[in-house]
Amino acid sequence: MSRIGKMPVKISEGVTIEINDNREIKAKGPKGELSFNFGYEVELKQEESQVIVEKIGKTKQSAALWGTTRAMVSNIIQGVSEGFEKNLELNGVGYRMVVQGKKVVLNLGYSHPVEKDIPAGLEVEVEKNILKIKGIDKQKVGQFAAEVRQERKVEPYKGKGFRYVGEQVIKKEGKRAAGSE
């Protein structure tokens, strides 16, 4: 039994929910509007200031989608009311990043600068060596952060590259000179 699926989703202040007959939930809030299409294995009900997700049937598919649907509904409600943010920290001598219009230009020690297009619906800003990615869609924010991080992952010897703020990287010990016999 899903421990996540059976918990009701609380609707935040200023957020309106609409559940359509064509299996779609729409959420409107101060930050914007999001929607999600849910499957036939689950049913959504709105009671007062919460949304309840119930599974239909006893198949593996319905059990799997029960918790997933509840998490997606929770994410769209949180997205339209508060939004999501991921922060990436860039460490390394000569590594720089700057936002130019709808692109992030990264100088990461390659022979050329790397340009990443900012997806629609996301805000990106740079403060010193921290890249802040903000948006209402949790999947888009996380995906763009992962794509930027992929350009230069943190390496384990000197700690150079992108890491999430607060991420602990275990540094390895370098090679030692061989002792003479």
pLDDT in tens, 27-81: 999 999 999 999 889 999 999 899 999 998 888 888 889 999 999 999 999 999 9
Q: Where residue 86 falls among pLDDT bands split at 50, 70, 90?
A: very high
Place of tokens 């740079």: 126
Tell me: the pLDDT tens digits for 101-122?
A: 999 999 999 999 999 999 999 9
- Predicted confidence at residue 179, as pLDDT, reads 62
Note whether residue 36 is domain-resident: yes
Please check whether residues 23 and 66 belong to one and the same domain. yes
pTM of the full structure: 0.88
**Which structural domain range is residue 90 located in?**
84-164
Tell me: the pLDDT tens digits for 127-166?
A: 999 999 999 999 999 999 999 999 999 999 999 999 999 9
pLDDT at 181 over 60: no
Please check whether residues 110 and 49 belong to one and the same domain. no
Among candidate residues 81, 41, 47, the one with its CA nearest the CA of residue 61: 41
Please check whether residues 76 and 90 belong to one and the same domain. no
Quickly list H helices, the chain: 60-81, 138-151
Among candidate residues 93, 118, 119, 126, the one with its CA nearest the CA of residue 108: 93
What is residue 95's DSSP assignment? Answer: -
Note whether residue 153 is domain-resident: yes
Please check whether residues 99 and 127 belong to one and the same domain. yes
Count structural domains, the chain. Answer: 2
Please check whether residues 46 and 69 belong to one and the same domain. yes
